[in-house]
């Protein structure tokens, strides 16, 4: 999402901090992914941006949903989304949440441990389950395999165990890591899935769902493979490794790649100071208010309104709370004349920003504002008034 | 706060996760600090635990309050707390928040930068200001001097600047770092404050308030100096370094030391698994739901109900969300037979837990529950029923 005239217009109109979302970009991301992997069923990862207008938009487009808790399920049911469109993809589910999901018609669950299978068989008998395979180290910003998924031999054991407990093993999921830069990670994963499917067939268990997980990257600073390039690797790998069976059904669980580049976090400078040799800029957004991922070293592109071309120098950039953890970047280049009330944009901030927000220090988390709520007419009026 | 029979009783009655608070301990902490430093005025740091019952309790005891934002001020005004009992101690204030504070009768502000002084002189003319002095490296868990405070020469410049802009310089604040283990840190700070006071007198500016900040430690795992020992160092330092003037007025801004040991976070095991060689325990509380400080390496004492004396082994302990950051401890000793639905206590979790909470993954942050709401009669009834 670019900083257009309309973005600048809205940034003057709305009280900061907020995340400005463009639902047209969400739509385009959805369609691009659909096109890149023929026949894929998209389960949007609600956790990445759970705003109801984002969810409604994706629902209108035909998306299904990956949910993480009872809270998310309740929210989606409240928006009129069918339980058949939901996959309970968290491998760490409260037992009462499984029961709630089942009683409300959800019959699709992720597992990576014996105890999880037992909990599901007790509370959601005969449900469909898919097994989360851990990947080795991949070139991604957040490898997810330590906490989630398990090794290939364990997955095979789990399939047999689930089958014995009366569940329906339908497939395998994996996750190459959030923000994955290596398109061949998907190929490696699919080779392993083919091995598992073949093993299961020998046991008389026909599985045909491959859940490709999320992990497709968006561009912050580093160059990324496109969704089309990743799709090509996936399609070729499916052709090559799964020729012993009918074409598998493909699921995908995008979060960041659906909404990340559809949002800009807009903040304002509330203080500039110099202490010892360090120049500090403090914003009205921070680690506890939208920018939590920066403490895990996510580098957003940062733009200061009207000073894009000014001479730069190094600043420490921090948030508004009385907390030493609330430092966004120890070192970042900003215009040397940045000052009080300047507007500061964080690009590609549509995912894992507002949903990570707290009310710490009595400061509310950023609101989400939608481009479509502002008409061209309003902008024209402003232009007219200015003349 | 010990795990008493009453704590165990409540943990069986209330849905986890929650933070169980004992307001009697808050009261005892307040009184101990009052006794340790004769004449000190306590400004409770609301951010550490902003629950209205905690605030009300401290209000009843006669405490004043250190506030960080308009949100906290509104909350306290709503609870009937006089503006004269509030100090706006955040050095990074939104201009509109300063205005709001001033219009509502608050006239006491912290500063550590020229621009902050300008903002206050514009929006809260003639207010009292105190200047935050940065400390060097101290032996504390969270040194707060990088983001807050400035060096001694800069403080002197700021005093002159504030005076010129019509503000009333009344004193100096410092913060030895959160969880400070070295009682002599306060002595070093007070020597510097005396230097500043002396300098100011030579300029004709009489300052007499020393804000001792927070930073008094509570015991998690490592041994700590007591509040009485710290008080003794402070009292002796005041006698020694401030004999050129009347005894200064002392403020203190405790957060963690008022409420930290008055709370226990109570959670339950929702999954146990083994993946490769690692044993995992997943809880219904985690980094995004009460235990944020663990990613900054705070080591809570962790106790598993009914298995305190069992053989221990090493586990990885994680929270309930689909997020790889949500790992509480990579390695922690737990009973080797820990299992589903076991109750897990985190001791001394009354500060910076619920207030750091998010609703990430559609999971609500822990609630706060109060010991005083459960009577001995209820416990007796349960005992009776069990017989």
Give, as one character, the DSSP assignment of residue A150: B
Task: Give the whole-angstrom CA distance, residue A346 versus residue B349.
Answer: 34
Q: What is the pLDDT of residues B339-357, one digit of tens each?
A: 999 999 999 999 999 999 9
pLDDT band at residue B219 under the 50/70/90 scheme: confident
Question: What pLDDT does A142 receive?
Answer: 64
For A89-254, CATH number? Answer: 3.20.20.10
Helix, strand, coil percentages (3-state) for chain A, rounded to 5, are 35, 25, 40
Question: What pLDDT does B202 receive?
Answer: 97
The answer to whether the CB atoms of B325 and A142 lie below 8 A apart is yes
Where would I find the H helices in chain B?
A: 5-13, 23-36, 52-61, 70-78, 95-103, 114-123, 152-164, 184-202, 227-241, 256-259, 376-386
Residue A48 has pLDDT above 80, yes or no: yes
The answer to whether the CB atoms of B282 and A92 lie below 8 A apart is yes
A178 vs B contacts (CB less than 8 Å)? 324
Q: What is the pLDDT of residues B241-295, one digit of tens each?
A: 999 999 999 999 999 999 999 999 999 999 999 998 899 999 999 999 999 999 9
In 3-state terms, what secondary structure has residue A200? helix
B114 vs A contacts (CB less than 8 Å)? 273
Q: Which CATH class is domain A261-377?
A: mainly beta
Instruction: Answer yes or no: A322 catalytic.
Output: yes
Using CA coordinates, name the residue in chain A closest to B278.
A146
CB distance A356 to A7 below 8 Å: no
Buried b vs exposed e over B300-322: b needs ≥16 C-beta within 10 Å?
A: bebbbbebeeeeeeebbbbbbbb
Residue A379 has pLDDT above 80, yes or no: no
Kindly provide the ipTM of the predicted complex, given to two decimals: 0.93
Task: Give the whole-angstrom CA distance, residue B368 versus residue A37.
Answer: 47
The answer to whether the CB atoms of A71 and B362 lie below 8 A apart is yes
Closest Cβ opposite residue B322 in set A47, A273, A325: A47
Question: What pLDDT does B305 receive?
Answer: 97
Closest Cβ opposite residue A356 in set B271, B273, B360: B360
CB distance B89 to A322 below 8 Å: yes
Question: What pLDDT does B296 receive?
Answer: 86
Question: What pLDDT does B159 receive?
Answer: 98
B322 vs A contacts (CB less than 8 Å)? 45, 47, 68, 89-92, 148
Residue A371 has pLDDT above 90, yes or no: yes
The answer to whether the CB atoms of A362 and B94 lie below 8 A apart is no
B288 vs A contacts (CB less than 8 Å)? 356
Question: What pLDDT does A362 receive?
Answer: 96
Longest CA span, chain B? 77
Which residue spans of chain A are classified as CATH 2.40.37.10? Answer: 261-377
Question: What pLDDT does A386 receive?
Answer: 58
Closest Cβ opposite residue A143 in set B46, B288, B324: B324
Closest Cβ opposite residue A272 in set B46, B74, B115: B115
Lowest average pLDDT, out of A260-269, B222-231, B271-280, B286-295, goes to: B222-231
Question: What pLDDT does B385 receive?
Answer: 65
Instruction: Tell me which H or E stretch contains A43.
Output: strand A41-45
Question: What pLDDT does A383 receive?
Answer: 65
Smallest Cα distance from B227 to chain A, Å: 23
Q: What is the pLDDT of residues A136-187, one digit of tens each?
A: 766 677 665 588 999 999 999 999 999 999 999 999 999 887 778 888 889 9
What is chain B's mean pLDDT, rounded? 94
Question: What pLDDT does B342 receive?
Answer: 98
What is chain A's mean pLDDT, rounded? 94
Phi and psi at residue B268, in whole multiples of 5°? -130, 150
Question: What pLDDT does A21 receive?
Answer: 98
In 3-state terms, what secondary structure has residue B358? coil
Between chain A and chain B, how many beta carbons pairs sit less than 8 Å apart? Answer: 199
Which residue spans of chain A are classified as CATH 3.20.20.10? Answer: 89-254
Q: Which residue has the higher pLDDT, B380 or B259?
A: B259
Closest Cβ opposite residue A322 in set B90, B94, B322: B90
Question: What pLDDT does A138 receive?
Answer: 65
Smallest Cα distance from A239 to chain B, Å: 31
pTM of the predicted model over 0.90:
yes
The answer to whether the CB atoms of A69 and B320 lie below 8 A apart is yes
Residue A387 has pLDDT above 80, yes or no: no
B134 vs A contacts (CB less than 8 Å)? 275
The answer to whether the CB atoms of A47 and B148 lie below 8 A apart is no
Residue B144 has pLDDT above 60, yes or no: no
The answer to whether the CB atoms of A71 and B363 lie below 8 A apart is yes
B69 vs A contacts (CB less than 8 Å)? 320, 361-363
The answer to whether the CB atoms of A90 and B321 lie below 8 A apart is yes
Longest CA span, chain A? 77
**Mean pLDDT across the stretch B182-206?**
95
B148 vs A contacts (CB less than 8 Å)? 322, 324
Segments of B178-311 assigned E as strands = 178-180, 209-211, 249-252, 263-275, 278-283, 302-304
The answer to whether the CB atoms of B47 and A148 lie below 8 A apart is no
Residue A330 has pLDDT above 90, yes or no: yes
**Mean pLDDT across the stretch B104-118?**
98
CB distance B296 to B142 below 8 Å: yes
Of B362, B364, B365, B368, which to mutate for an interface test with A (greatest number of A Cβ within 10 Å)? B362
Question: What pLDDT does A60 receive?
Answer: 98
**Mean pLDDT across the stretch A234-243?**
95
Smallest Cα distance from B172 to chain A, Å: 17
What would the two tokens of residue A377 be? 């007419």
Catalytic residue among A322, A376, A385, A386: A322
In percent, the amount of chain A with pLDDT more than 70 equals 96
Q: What is the pLDDT of residues B28-44, one digit of tens each?
A: 999 999 999 999 999 99
CB distance A195 to A210 below 8 Å: no
């Amino acid at each position: 999402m670019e900083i257009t005239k309309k973005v600048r217009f809205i940034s003057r109109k709305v009280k900061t901090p907020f995340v400005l979302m463009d639902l047209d970009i969400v739509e385009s991301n959805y369609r691009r992914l659909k096109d890149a992997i023929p026949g894929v069923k998209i389960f949007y990862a609600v956790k990445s941006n759970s705003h109801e207008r984002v969810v409604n938009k994706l629902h209108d487009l035909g998306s299904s949903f990956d949910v993480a808790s009872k809270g998310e399920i309740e929210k989606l049911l409240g928006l009129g989304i069918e339980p058949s469109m939901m996959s309970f993809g968290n491998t760490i589910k409260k037992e009462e949440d499984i029961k709630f999901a089942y009683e409300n018609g959800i019959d699709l669950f992720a597992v990576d441990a014996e105890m999880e299978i037992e909990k599901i068989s007790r509370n959601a008998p005969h449900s469909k389950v898919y097994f989360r395979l851990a990947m080795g180290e991949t070139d991604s910003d957040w490898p997810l395999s330590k906490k989630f998924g398990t090794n290939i031999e364990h997955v095979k054991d789990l399939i047999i165990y689930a089958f014995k407990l009366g569940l329906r093993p339908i497939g395998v999921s994996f996750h190459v890591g959030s923000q994955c830069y290596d398109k061949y990670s998907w190929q490696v994963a699919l080779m392993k899935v083919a091995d598992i499917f073949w093993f299961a067939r020998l046991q008389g268990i026909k599985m045909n769902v491959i859940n490709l997980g999320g992990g497709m990257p968006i561009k912050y600073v580093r160059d990324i493979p496109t969704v089309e390039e990743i799709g090509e690797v996936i399609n070729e790998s499916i052709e090559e490794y799964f020729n012993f069976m009918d074409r598998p059904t493909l699921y995908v669980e995008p979060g960041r790649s659906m909404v990340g580049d559809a949002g800009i976090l807009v903040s304002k400078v509330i203080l500039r100071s110099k202490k010892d040799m360090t120049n500090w800029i403090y914003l009205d957004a921070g680690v506890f208010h939208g920018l939590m991922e920066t403490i895990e070293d996510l580098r957003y592109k940062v733009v200061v309104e009207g000073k894009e071309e000014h001479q730069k120098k190094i600043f420490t950039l921090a948030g508004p709370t009385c907390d030493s953890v609330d430092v966004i970047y120890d070192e970042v280049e900003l215009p040397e004349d940045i000052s009080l009330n300047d507007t500061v944009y964080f690009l590609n901030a549509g995912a894992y920003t507002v949903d990570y927000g707290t009310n710490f220090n009595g400061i509310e988390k950023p609101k989400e504002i939608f481009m479509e709520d502002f008409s061209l007419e309003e902008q024209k009026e402003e232009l007219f008034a200015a003349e």
